[in-house]
Structure 1
Amino acid sequence: MIRLSREHLAIDLGPASTVICRGDEGVVLDEPTAAAVQTSTGRILHQGVAVGRLAQALRDRTPSEVSIAYPLANGKVADPVLCQAMLRQFLHKCATRRSFFGPQVVCTVPSGATMVERAALVSAVRGAGAASVGLVLRSVAAAIGGGAPVLEATAACSCEIGSTQTDIAATCLGEVVAERRLPIGGVALDQAIVDAVKALFNLRIGVKQAETIRIEYGSAQPQGAEKSFEIHGADGITGAPRTSRITTQQLREALESPLTDIASGISELLQSLTPEMAGDLAQQGVLLSGGVALTPGIADFLAQELAIPCRVASMPREAAALGAAIVAVDFDRWRGILL
């Protein structure tokens, strides 16, 4: 049976992962932003379905004529055709019924995206099957998803730390009063670990191992007794395989510099606000979201640096998608914050 009602979907399309929410049901898809393609033709494998987790699973198991492509780069749609094809599969996975209309979609967009970049995103989502597309800043969507008072007559500040960049926004009465983008995210933290291991032990490790180390052992503040663990890489002089041990304190010191840069970015945004808004945030604090917000101790670290409260959203990775879903369901109420 074909229904005339329209589905409401929210898409948080990031360089590393894509999260989709349907209406008020919560997250219905969370998969890598990736596609396995035939190198010679650029077509997605398995009749177009080798995207997301399937593509990621094929990453280390593909023949030379197959590559894993990532249609987003630096928060922008780098390959519009591939992005559209990938999103078409994602939307197909999320469909629950046949509808005469395509879904109404609200999609997050990073701070600083140009009109051309926004248009490319809208085109990709519409081409994937959406009937209409609204855009909302990722940091604002995360604030909504994290329960910040975005529509109230008080200032709210959100800091969304993703894989490649950090989006910061201050809102009041449903309007964005200040925003800032920093080229710092999980990738920068991973590179800081790579650089620290080389400086400390003259050992070369890959970014992928650094990411695993950061997620498993990384912290922004001491977390009980310090530990040490093995790292495996190549000797910086001979290139021979070698193993060293690194402590959680050394790892924390490696992460301190990029985390301090994030604190500086938030501080600069706060300094641009009126005294009244700054006073609001001295009480409300900063809401943290994004995958890096899962780093133990990050809220305490930033609170010390900024001298105002900081808290992590209850679902930091999904906060932006959840917030965009709230906007999608009650479009008229939130129309003012759409771009």
Structure 2
Amino acid sequence: MYIENKRPFISLDLGTSNILAYVSGQGIVYNQPSLMAYDINQNKLVAIGQEAYEMIGKTNDNIRMVTPLVDGVIADLDAAKDLLEHIFDRLKMMNFWKNSVVVLACPSGVTELERDALKMVARDMGADLVVVEEEVKMSAIGAGVNIELPLGHLIIDIGGGTTDIAIISAGDIVLSKSIKVAGNYFNEEILKFVRAEYNIAVGIKTAENVKKNIGSLVKYPNERSMQIYGRDIVSGLPKEATVNSEEIRNVLLGAFGRITDLVIEVMENTPPELAGDILKQGIILCGGGALVRNADKYFHDIFQLPTKIAADPLNCVIEGTKAYEKIILKRIEEGFYKGTQETFLQTLKK
């Protein structure tokens, strides 16, 4: 048995599209878009989260839109600190950072240098122990997988900035790959298609709405069309057009084909015994991309493996970190982090 932790436990899903924050005893305290809006003249933060998201494409030259984390990597260190400070200050919870245990979830492609930068942000906020774990591992736990068992599971986590694919068994990741083809990439491809096919420039929010409303990977009954509005790239005047499900499906299939290629690459390098497990256990889909219509049928048809979508794909990572708290506390008691934390502290003093 491990002793009860007296220090605050905080976990963060640092997504490209959304930031989620969990505090032990409080639950999920923040779940909003990873966006900030700054007034350039006053160097002042004017909007954050959903408020900033509503401003996309509608700002003047004095407003700078910032995404502090891109593909799980800190693109703007100062903005990342601002973001976390404002989240917890707004919630009147800044004191929770002092001597806290923090778990940060990030994509599998993040380097050690980038992980250290993430840790620095949390430590500057007052955290005592900072653990960085791969999002796909947390997703598996959040999807209900008992990763401690010596049983192979194939997880496909399609987020906003990256798609992470991993084989997990016996408590950790056996093999993982990451690709920057995910929700934001799908939106960009739809935007490019509309521009090329209809000579209309539309915003990223319009492209996202098209994806959510009529996007699919397999033909479905009662398919429909959608009216879109933008700017004619020739005349510069406002213009409208109608896009249909089949057009958008073809765009998405091209993007998902790249994810499929990576899944094949992971499978080709999977140890034979684990491959046998996956044949029986199948594929688990997590992340916002799993909500694209018929994503499960798409992967099932290609790989002929049982495929299911997690019960709450959008929140799999943060739910996984919540469950991971017990494992972290047990490891603290066993002295698992002592050496690594001391080493990290020494690097900070250099």
SS where residue 330 of structure 1 aligns? helix
Instruction: Quote the residue 2:31 is aligned against.
Output: 30
Matches within 5 A, 1:229-240: 229-240=226-237
1:227 aligns with: 224
Structure 2 residue matching 1:130: 3-state secondary structure: coil
Does residue 118 of structure 2 align to residue 114 of structure 1? no
Change (3 A) 1:100 1:166: closer
Once the two structures are TM-superposed, the CA of residue 262 in structure 1 deviates from its matched residue by 1.0
| Higher mean displacement: 223-232 or 293-302 | 223-232
**1:193 corresponds to:** 190
- Alignment gaps of 5+ in structure 2: 341-350
Return 316-325 or 220-229, whichever deviates more. 220-229
* Greater relative CO, 1 or 2 (CA 8 Å, sep 6+): 1
C-alpha distance after superposition, 1:110-167 (max 9, x if no partner): 1121111001111112223323211110011101110123111111121111112111
3-state SS of paired residue (1:44): strand
TM-score normalised per structure 1: 0.88
Q: Which residue of 1 aligns with 2:259?
A: 262
| CA distance in structure 2 between the partners assigned to 1:188 and 1:100 by the alignment | 34
Q: What percentage of residue pairs aligned between the two structures are identical?
A: 25
Contact 1:148 1:287 in 2 (8 A): no
Q: Which residue of 1 aligns with 2:344?
A: none
Task: Give 2:77's aligned residue.
Answer: 80
- Work out whether residues 106 and 325 of structure 1, in 8 Å CA contact, stay in contact via their aligned partners in 2: no
Aligned positions, number = 332
Aligned partner of 1:103 among 82, 92, 100: 100
Tell me if 1:129 matches 2:126: yes
SS in 2 for 1:180: strand
Query: Is 322-331 or 89-98 further displaced after alignment?
Result: 89-98
Q: 1:92 to 1:31 in 2, by over 3 A?
A: same
Q: Per-residue deviation at 1:178? A: 0.4
Q: Please tell me whether the aligned partners of residues 57 and 203 of structure 2 are also in contact (alpha carbons under 8 angstroms).
A: no
Task: Tell me if structure 1 keeps the 8 A contact 2:97–2:125.
Answer: no
**Residues of 1 paired with 2:56 and 2:245: CA distance?**
30
Whether 1:182 aligns to 2:183 is no
Question: 2:16–2:161: 8 Å Cα contact kept in structure 1?
Answer: yes
Relative to structure 1, the CA distance from residue 202 to residue 126 in structure 2 (aligned partners, 3 Å threshold; closer, same or farther) is: same
Paired amino acid for 2:10: L
Q: 1:98–1:129: structure 2 CA closer, same or farther, 3 Å change rule?
A: closer
Give unpaired runs (5+ residues) of structure 1: none
In 2, distance between residues paired with 1:84 and 1:267?
38
The AA in structure 2 aligned to 1:289 is C
Structure 2-normalised TM-score? 0.86
Q: Given the alignment, which residue of 194, 211, 224 partners 1:214?
A: 211
For residues 260 and 99 of structure 2, the distance between their equivalents in structure 1, rounded to whole angstroms, comes to 41
Aligned 1:1-339 pairs, distance under 5 A: 5-23=6-24, 26-40=27-41, 42-45=43-46, 50-57=47-54, 59=56, 64-93=61-90, 101-333=98-330
Note the C-alpha offset of 1:192. Answer: 1.9
Q: Report how far residue 95 of structure 1 moved.
A: 6.0
Q: Which moved more, 1:135-144 or 1:125-134?
A: 125-134
Kept in 1, the 8 Å contact 2:158–2:182? The answer is yes
Secondary structure of residue in 2 paired with 1:225: coil
> Using a 3 Å threshold, how does the CA distance of structure 1 residues 95 and 137 change in structure 2: closer, same or farther?
farther
CA displacement 1:291-339 (0-9 Å, x = unmatched): 1111110011011112212211111111011101211243145789999
Distance 2:192 2:79 in 1: 33
Q: Hey, what's the Cα distance between the residues in 2 that align with 1:129 and 1:114?
A: 23
Say which SS state the counterpart of residue 48 (structure 2) adopts. Answer: coil
For 1:207 and 1:60, locate their aligned partners in 2 and report how far apart those are by CA, in whole Å: 8
CA gap 1:123/1:96 in 2 versus in 1, 3 angstroms: closer
Name the structure 1 match of 2:347: none
Q: CA deviation at 1:69?
A: 1.6
- The answer to whether the 8 A contact 1:126-1:133 is kept is yes
CA contact (8 A) 2:71 2:107 kept: no
CA distance in 1, matches of 2:95, 2:231: 54
